[in-house]
Amino acid sequence: MTNEQRQFIHDLLAELLNLPKSAVIWGNQHDMPRQDKAYATIRIYNAHREAAEELRPTDTSGMVNVVEPTAATVEVQYTDRLKNDPCEVVNNMVLGLKRPSIVDRCQAARVAFFDAGNVQDISFTLGNIAWEHRAAVDLSVRYMAEVLDEVGYINEVNAGGVLTGPVLSGEVIVNLNIKEGE
């Protein structure tokens, strides 16, 4: 997944959760302070190949793009300190991924959300007096993993030979030279 696709997913989920982009945090970051308001953590993991790779030509001679359909899991955990129901917020986010305008934006970014697990209430206590209200869901996303490869190219072909046969009288010499751009 490209950095642009990761950023697109981050920003889209922030929008669908009605959070500022700064309140959506990549999971497993070190030294993250505890948030005071509603926030979400996201994590992309379990990327796996779904089909064989394909070699696609590029506009540059000798370069090909190796493209492989890939699927991954996007884990979203939403915590709401304002006492809103986090399960409802996450369910609305999942439903929002099905809106045609969102699907079109995903297509333009070359990602596709194709499945969502069950939204789970994973609230827990913060000691004797407080609860952290939290919900989580795993989203399945597809994208095309890509890498450029310089395979080189043949820029000149020289073929020669002698034609003989029962119809020909004598030998015919053939030289065929082809160069790049001809």
Nearest to 89 by CA among 47, 125, 137: 137
Answer whether 91's CB lies under 8 Å from 119's CB: yes
How far apart are alpha carbons 69 and 50 in whole angstroms?
A: 6
Residue 60 belongs to a domain: yes
pLDDT score recorded for residue 132:
78
- Taking CA atoms, 160 is separated from 38, 88, 167, 177, 179, in Å, by 75, 75, 20, 9, 15
pLDDT score recorded for residue 143:
95
How far apart are alpha carbons 113 and 96 in whole angstroms?
A: 11
Q: Which domain holds residue 64?
A: 3-150
How many of the other CB atoms lie within 10 Å of CB of 64? Answer: 17
Residue 166 belongs to a domain: no
| Token code pair at residue 91 | 């369910």
Residue 122: which CATH number? Answer: 3.30.70
pLDDT score recorded for residue 82:
67
How far apart are alpha carbons 53 and 8 in whole angstroms?
A: 24
How far apart are alpha carbons 134 and 77 in whole angstroms?
A: 7
Residue 182 belongs to a domain: no
Residue 160 belongs to a domain: no
**Number of domains into which the chain is organized:** 1
pLDDT (tens, 9 = 90+) of the chain, 182 residues, equals: 889 999 999 999 999 999 999 999 998 777 776 677 889 999 999 999 998 999 998 998 889 999 999 999 999 999 987 677 899 999 999 999 999 999 999 999 999 999 999 999 888 766 666 777 889 999 999 999 988 998 887 777 777 666 666 665 556 666 677 776 65
Residue 172 belongs to a domain: no
